[in-house]
Amino acid sequence: MTNSRREIFSRLQQASSKTEQKTVTIKEYLSAHKRGVLPVYSENIVKRFISKVESVAATIESIKNITDLSTAIYKYMSCYNIEPKLVAAPSELLKQVKWQKEITVEYRAADAKDITTLTMAYAGIAETGSLVLCSGKESPTTLNFMPDNNICVIQKNKIYPYMEDTWDLLRKAGETMPRSINFITGPSRTADIEQTIQLGAHGPRRLHIIILESSPPR
Amino acid sequence: MKSKSRNFKKNAVAALANSTLQKALQNAKDGFINKRKIALDALPEFEQLRSNAYKIKEHTLKNIEAYLKQFEQQVKNSGGEVHWASNTKEAQNIIVKLCQDAGARSITKGKSMVGEEVALNEALEKAGFETIETDLGEYIIQLAEEPPSHIIAPAVHKSQQQIADLFKEHHKKYNFKSKLETIPEIVDEARKVLRDKFIQADVGITGANFLIAETGSTVIVTNEGNGDLTASLPKTHIVISSIEKVVPTLEDTSVLLRLLARSATGQEITSYTTFFNGPKRNTDLDGPESFHVVLLDNKRSEMLNGEFHDMLRCIHCGACLNHCPVYNTIGGHAYGWVYPGPMGSVLTPLMQGLKESQHLPFASTLCGRCEEVCPMSIPLPQLLRQHRIQAHKEKINSTRSRLALKLWALFALHPLLYRLATNIFVKLLSWLGKTTGSISQLPFSHAWTRSRDLPSPQGQSFISAWKKQQKNKRMSKHD
Ligand code: SF4
């Protein structure tokens, strides 16, 4: 269908002019990464993150060290009567966790039968209470969407004020874009039946976030 | 979908008589309007964001050719491919071919209005693929074999009972037999039925709310998570979108996202906002092996330099529908094609021909609410007026309304004649309503007086009253 491509571009060209000059301006525009209007807020970013997360029907708690993770998760699972079986993202940090014997853990992508998954956020956004997850060998995307319950760990120092901070982080890392970048704000929901909000449409019914206060050794 | 806009008047009358629909519309209207209001009251920067968004889109449209080329290049760089479709038929053919090449049998779909525009489901089913909509609203109307009635809430016209009945009828074959009494039960059953479909699908098709030139990303904004399962589980991910959705940078997209969710559902951000960049990488543990973006033109390039340029800024939030008194009274189906409400009454004549949809530009009171709430500052009433002018020029509108306009023009050019006529008319109306103070039947306006009375004029016309007052003033000065 290269013909269509040619046709579309010739129509677009007819509608505009001075293309050459524009190529320069768009290069400048693209590399300026100019931020637009940012809604102002005065709260501390961690506080704001927590209150926003709670406002979208997710739950949140903090732990001091990564060594506290197993206990925290076991407590959470017992509280909601969830079978203590986890499918976890094969991230450096999560792989180091020493799990208590009651919990069975597998490190892999999700499949249809998995009830609970554990993931590691790339960043958190205080403006909206969103988690940012980037696909990669340590972070399979299906873990975010397949299970009934998703537990996600976020390091406290990775909570940033705005979505735009994610773009700077990704650029600084200098790598190419991951296949999928997910901004996750609360559990899955639908209002397609009589405008009534119902959680757990196709994605997780529950989202539990654990803030890790200490930054783990690299 | 074949346009039924020609039957607008008949459709609208039927909608008014449908009590289930009327209840659903009232419910939806209140919900949408209140939620948006709460969200905007909490955002003092709304006007700033709005003018920011306007500038971003105008800059993009001015340079759209270059940004689309940049987008295409970046999709290639991340391992995907862009396909161009001048019209809906081409888009259908490209996607059918991609599915055949992928050896597909079953296809899952995320919600896409461009998909509706090109009647993709019909084409895929005709080509023999099992095609399943996975957005709950889209799934419901697919079972009901109906088009969407709202651009962001496709099944907004359906009641809980109607949906339970549909599920009962269509889920028998999956061994679901219990009667669904509550909304959670309905949602749960859909989750179970569709879960298998996600896993079996060979191809996943999603739409895109934005296309980012800087990175070649396609963005979807959802609440259910169905779009992400559609994109991540099958071997092939196809994105169908249209050329005006391109935006230069990630930063620009963030601005538009702030406006989109608030204007649409009153959320600050939806549960899931996802940026897709090509197929799975070598070291990834999941994701599709191939990634295609199909970009539709379908008259958009022709709008770029013309009177309807402003419409290309639309981000499909649906706020103009939710605030339109006409949409809220007749619902989306009466408009007869995929885009209803004010934005649809502008787009449908451009895409389906003015003759085919001649009633739509007139299906508006031009009250201006749509323009007021539009986050992209699109002058919808003005655009509707342009269609009306065109309809008059092309002699598409009825002889009667053309005659009325001619008469009006005559008066407008001859103020004296106009005054004389209004004086006579005012007297006549006062006489008609002299006993009750209102007129229950007016010649040439039966439709108007059928459901209401016209109050008879109180005294003279404005001009004569004003003149008399001026005269009195002058006289009292001289006293
Ligand atoms: S015209 Fe404006 S209000 Fe209507 S859908 Fe488009 S962006 Fe939203």
CA atoms within 13 A on the CB side of A27: 6
Q: At what angle are helices A163-173 and B250-265 packed, to 10 degrees? A: 150
Predicted local distance difference test score (pLDDT) of residue B451: 53
Predicted local distance difference test score (pLDDT) of residue B4: 86
Asked if A89 and A110 touch (Cβ cutoff 8 Å), the reply is no
B433 lies within 8 A of chain A by CB: no
When scoring A3, A145, A184 by the number of chain B Cβ atoms within 10 A, the one with the most, hence best to mutate, is A145
pLDDT above 90: residue B407: no
B250 lies within 8 A of chain A by CB: yes
From residue A74, give the alpha-carbon distance in Å to each of A80, A93, A155, B211, B421: 10, 18, 19, 42, 86
pLDDT above 90: residue B413: no
**CB of B316 closer than 6 angstroms to any ligand 1 atom:** yes
Q: Which residues of B touch A110 (CB under 8 A)?
A: 286
- Candidates B187, B195, B217; nearest CB to A190: B187
- Candidates A40, A112, A145; nearest CB to B228: A145
CATH, residue A175: 3.40.50.10420
Predicted local distance difference test score (pLDDT) of residue B446: 59
**CB of B324 closer than 6 angstroms to any ligand 1 atom:** no
Predicted local distance difference test score (pLDDT) of residue A21: 56
How many Å apart are CA B402 and CA B421, to the nearest integer? 19
User: Which residue numbers in chain A have pLDDT < 70?
Assistant: 1, 17-24, 216-218
How many Å apart are CA B118 and CA B1, to the nearest integer? 7
* Nearest atom in ligand 1 to B342's CA: 4
**Confidence label for B448 from pLDDT (cuts 50, 70 and 90):** low
| A13, part of any domain | no
Asked if B202 and B108 touch (Cβ cutoff 8 Å), the reply is no
Nearest CA to ligand 1 atom 8: B317
| A16, part of any domain | no
When scoring B223, B230, B292 by the number of chain A Cβ atoms within 10 A, the one with the most, hence best to mutate, is B223
Taking the centre of ligand 1 as the mean of its atom positions, its distance from the CA of residue B316, in whole angstroms, is: 5
- Candidates B78, B195, B286; nearest CB to A142: B286
**Confidence label for B192 from pLDDT (cuts 50, 70 and 90):** very high
Q: Do A203 and B224 touch (CB under 8 A)?
A: yes
Q: Do B274 and A187 touch (CB under 8 A)?
A: no
Q: Which residue type, as a one-letter code, is found at position B258?
A: R
User: What spatial distance separates the first Cα and last Cα of chain B, rounded to whole Å?
Assistant: 75
When scoring B45, B285, B297 by the number of chain A Cβ atoms within 10 A, the one with the most, hence best to mutate, is B285
pLDDT above 70: residue B456: no
Report which DSSP code applies to B380.
H
How many Å apart are CA A113 and CA A71, to the nearest integer? 24
Predicted local distance difference test score (pLDDT) of residue B428: 67
Q: Do B85 and A35 touch (CB under 8 A)?
A: no
| A37, part of any domain | no
B26 lies within 8 A of chain A by CB: no
| A6, part of any domain | no
How many Å apart are CA B60 and CA B280, to the nearest integer? 29
Taking the centre of ligand 1 as the mean of its atom positions, its distance from the CA of residue B149, in whole angstroms, is: 15
Q: What is the 3-state secondary structure (H, E, C) of chain A?
A: CHHHHHHHHHHHHHHCCCHHHHHHHHHHHHHHCCCCCCCCCCCCHHHHHHHHHHHCCCEEEEECCHHHHHHHHHHHHHHCCCCCEEEECCCHHHHCCCCCCCCEEEECCCCCCCCEEEEECCEEECCCCEEEEECECCECCHHHHCCCEEEEEEEHHHEECCHHHHHHHHHHHCCCCCCEEEEECCCCEECCCCCCCEECCCCCCEEEEEEECCCCCC
| A2, part of any domain | no
Q: Which residues of B touch A191 (CB under 8 A)?
A: 31, 153, 223, 265
Predicted local distance difference test score (pLDDT) of residue A204: 97
Stronger pLDDT, B273 or B460, i.e. the higher one:
B273
Report for A10-24, B170-184, B227-241: range of highest mean pLDDT:
B227-241
**CB of B315 closer than 6 angstroms to any ligand 1 atom:** yes
Predicted local distance difference test score (pLDDT) of residue A14: 84
| A9, part of any domain | no
How many Å apart are CA B213 and CA B250, to the nearest integer? 9
Q: Which residue type, as a one-letter code, is found at position B90?
A: E
Q: Do B183 and A194 touch (CB under 8 A)?
A: yes
User: Total domain count for chain A?
Assistant: 1
What domains sit in chain B, N to C, each tagged with a CATH number? 43-302 (3.40.50.10420), 417-478 (no CATH)
Tokens of B305: 């330099």
- Across B65-78, average pLDDT: 97
| A158, part of any domain | yes
**CB of B375 closer than 6 angstroms to any ligand 1 atom:** yes
Q: Do B271 and A203 touch (CB under 8 A)?
A: yes
Which residue does chain A place closest to B163, by CA atoms?
A193
**CB of B376 closer than 6 angstroms to any ligand 1 atom:** yes
pLDDT digits (tens, 9 = 90+) for B389-404: 999 888 777 776 767 7
Taking the centre of ligand 1 as the mean of its atom positions, its distance from the CA of residue B379, in whole angstroms, is: 10
pLDDT above 70: residue B435: no
Domain hosting residue A102, numbered range: 43-212
| A11, part of any domain | no
Asked if B11 and B4 touch (Cβ cutoff 8 Å), the reply is yes
Q: Which of B256, B263, B300, B312 to mutate to test the pocket of ligand 1 (most atoms within 8 A of CB)?
A: B263
B275 lies within 8 A of chain A by CB: yes
pLDDT above 70: residue B426: no
Nearest CA to ligand 1 atom 3: B374
